[in-house]
């Protein structure tokens, strides 16, 4: 497969929710679910659903990009090639490769893993699935008249509009990485309490993929649904805004839960006392 358009707009995995609508311009928006695809074990397929909430039809080309997660921030940096020897996008078949979504319609994208032999060494292998918008836009005709005061005609051409992306991970084997939640600090931003929660993992070929949740008196008051730490880094600090303006006594329970909803495995947890 050819690497997809390098200048696609990438969403920060730590900030996107399970159902998210990106609205980078007035021209297009797109709802993508799930926002993380993991293929593991005997699985060889993955699915992504695209929903067009706009009043106009949109066309998207589907392809790949490579990224590297940056330490602490969790932001993505574009790469020309895969960060691992096993190049996952070269082993995944996308169907279909281009979709046109009428208003308020849903389209499923199918991903199929094709291996040319034995699986690679244990670890996580990643590519970013990119949905690049293609819209019809007016393109000026070449002026052929001598009278430059006459308005030039326009024809309809094709231009690249805006892109969205989500990580796709192929996990080989089982991770035994240890996940730790460090010292939590608090601040107030725009009148809301915000926690800075550092999370570290064992440095290995595996990443940590899951959700970070904050509970107060058994009520969830903050979360990051895609709190991922991919293998190229070993720590991230997550800034979590709380839904309560004031906390009085008791404690906060912070839980880092695995992405795998079938297992619902708690990878790390910490209790933080709250002053009266």
CA proximity to 240, closest of 255, 257, 221:
221
Between CA 249 and CA 273 the distance in angstroms is 8
With CA atoms as reference, report the closest residue to 71 among 167, 198, 185.
Answer: 198
Could you please report the per-residue DSSP string of 187-241? EEETTEEEEEEEEEE--SS--B-EEEEEEETTEEEEEETT--B-TT-SEEEEEEE
Domains recognised in the chain with CATH numbers: 13-172 (2.60.40.10), 179-273 (2.60.40.10)
pLDDT at 210: 94
Q: 67: left (phi > 0), else alpha (psi -120 to 50), else beta?
A: beta
**The pLDDT of residue 161:** 57
Which DSSP category does 139 fall into?
E
In percent, the amount of the chain with pLDDT more than 70 equals 80
3-state class (DSSP) for residue 79? strand
Closest CA to 12 of 273, 236, 269, 252: 236
Identify whether the C-beta of residue 60 lies closer than 8 Å to the C-beta of residue 86: no
The owner of tokens 């107030």 is 188
Burial readout 174-212 (b: 16 or more C-beta within 10 A, e: otherwise): ebebebebeebeeeeeeeebbbebebbbeebbbbbbbbb
pLDDT of residue 223: 97
Distances (CA, A) of 58 to 51, 107, 133, 147, 258: 10, 12, 7, 38, 34
pLDDT digits (tens, 9 = 90+) for 88-117: 999 999 999 999 999 999 999 999 999 988
Residue 31: CA count within 13 A, CB half-sphere: 12
How far is the C-alpha of 152 from the C-alpha of 143, rounded, in Å?
Answer: 6
**What residues of the chain score a pLDDT lower than 50?**
1-27, 137-140, 142-160
């Amino acid at each position: 497969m050819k690497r997809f358009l390098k200048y696609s707009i990438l969403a920060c995995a730590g900030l996107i929710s399970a159902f998210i609508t990106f609205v980078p311009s007035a021209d297009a928006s797109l709802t993508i679910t799930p926002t993380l695809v993991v293929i593991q074990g005997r699985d060889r397929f993955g699915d992504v659903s695209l929903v067009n909430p706009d009043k106009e039809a949109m066309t998207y080309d589907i392809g790949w990009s490579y990224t590297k997660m940056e330490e602490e921030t969790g932001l993505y940096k574009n790469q020309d090639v895969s960060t691992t020897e096993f190049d996952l996008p070269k082993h995944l078949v996308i169907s279909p490769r281009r979709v046109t979504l009428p208003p308020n319609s849903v389209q499923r994208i199918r991903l199929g893993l094709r291996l040319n032999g034995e699986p690679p060494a244990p670890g996580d292998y990643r590519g970013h699935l990119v949905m690049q918008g293609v819209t019809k836009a007016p393109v000026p005709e070449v002026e052929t008249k001598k009278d430059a005061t006459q308005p030039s005609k326009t024809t309809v051409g094709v231009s690249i509009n805006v892109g969205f992306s989500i990580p796709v991970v192929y996990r080989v084997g089982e991770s035994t990485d240890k996940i730790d939640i460090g010292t939590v600090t608090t601040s107030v931003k725009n009148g809301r309490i915000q926690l800075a929660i550092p999370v570290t993992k064992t440095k290995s070929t595996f990443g940590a993929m899951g959700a970070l949740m904050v509970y107060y008196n058994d009520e969830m008051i903050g979360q990051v649904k895609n709190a991922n730490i991919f293998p190229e880094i070993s720590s991230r600090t997550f800034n979590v805004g709380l839904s309560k303006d004031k906390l009085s006594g008791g404690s906060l329970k912070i839980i880092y839960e695995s992405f795998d909803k079938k297992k619902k495995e708690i990878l790390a947890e910490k209790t933080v006392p709250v002053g009266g």
